[in-house]
Amino acid sequence: MTDDVLISTQDRVGRIRLNRPKAIHALTTGMCEKMSEALLGWRSNDEVEAVVIDHAEGRGFCAGGDVVMLARSGDYDAEEAKEFFFAEYRLNHLLLTYRKPTVAIMDGITMGGGVGISMPCTFRVATENTRFAMPETGIGLFPDVGGGWYLPRLPGRVGEFMALTGARLDGAECHYLGLATHYVEQASLADMIDRIATTPQRVQGPIGAFAATPPDTKIAANLPNITKLFASDRLEDVLAALEADGSDWATTELATLRTKSPLSCKVSLRLLAEGARREDFADEMRAEYALAGRVVRTHDFREGVRALLIDKDNAPQWDPPTPEEVTDEMLDVLFAPLPESEAWTPFPETENERV
């Protein structure tokens, strides 16, 4: 058995390398706990001045989490799923409050849980291979791991557009939108990391030295349409706007939205609207943890995983089947806060560090 996460140091840099290539490095509870253990150990270790997170062999940085496990857990009491979310969100919060520079190498597929461990990092490096997305509405979930915090803070309504459609962005688009801080060609990554290891006290210098000029982006031309047609926090309004517009772009996005879970889309819009008003990332994690533990038990999540990942018939039967049938009362039940005794908490070492 090989380790799913490789922990090491290179000179004065802590290295975290995801190593589950057959699953495109999708996260498990144990992987999250092991990464957090390493990060907590390095916090007070003067011999480690910076941290680099990337993947070892295989393609993709991180495809997300073990959603099949989450769905099977949701069939029962969801306890295993909640254990995973608790560990994953503690890792997300730890990274965002970390006092030393962190670097995420978003080379290849960076989705779901991969977004959760890259977005909190000080430096986020995209490449020509980056494929960045939050595709959760296609399986009846929602953009968690801080999606409710990051997405509404993107320009215009790009975050809402990404949450609803699951749009995949390339590395240049990630850099354009600020999801990535730098764009570096994949062939330069190894040399860049070696240079970081020699000057960990000045991480930005080595990254900047290897940064390339990204190509032009499609998302730039589409921003006016996104801002206009995805302006509403009400799913029915977004669908009506796309239908009324009638352009090829709008028609394509409308067709995409029709394939998504109406419940998940409404959950996502409400999460982003509430997240935009939050002032503390820990509060976001508490809200997402309460929500996630309930959503994994819904029909749509288990059905979405069945249709896309287990039976692979790509024909999920959503329930409710239309946006109009998803009521505010349904959402209120999912969004209700947990009792204090069941609520998510950050690591004790980070609980007073607000972001």
Mind telling me the catalytic residues?
A: 65, 113, 136, 144
How many CA atoms within 13 Å lie on the side-chain side of 223?
10
> What tokens appear for 292 in the block?
């996630």
Q: 318: closest CA among 334, 307, 332? A: 307
For residue 10, how many other CB atoms are within 10 A of its CB? 14
CA distances from 324 to 235, 317, 344 (A): 9, 16, 32
Region of residue 60 (left: phi > 0; alpha: psi -120 to 50; beta: else): left
Residues near 259 by beta carbon (within 8 Å), at least 6 away in sequence:
138
CA distances from 243 to 237, 249, 261, 304 (A): 10, 11, 18, 25
Q: What angle do CA 160, 164, 167 make, to 5 degrees?
A: 90
For residue 278, how many other CB atoms are within 10 A of its CB? 16
Region of residue 353 (left: phi > 0; alpha: psi -120 to 50; beta: else): beta
CA dist 270 and 234 (Å) reads: 9
User: Is the sign of the CA dihedral 238, 240, 245, 247 positive or negative?
Assistant: positive
Strands 109-111 and 123-126 come out as unpaired
> What tokens appear for 195 in the block?
């240079």
169 forms bridges with which residues in the sheet?
132
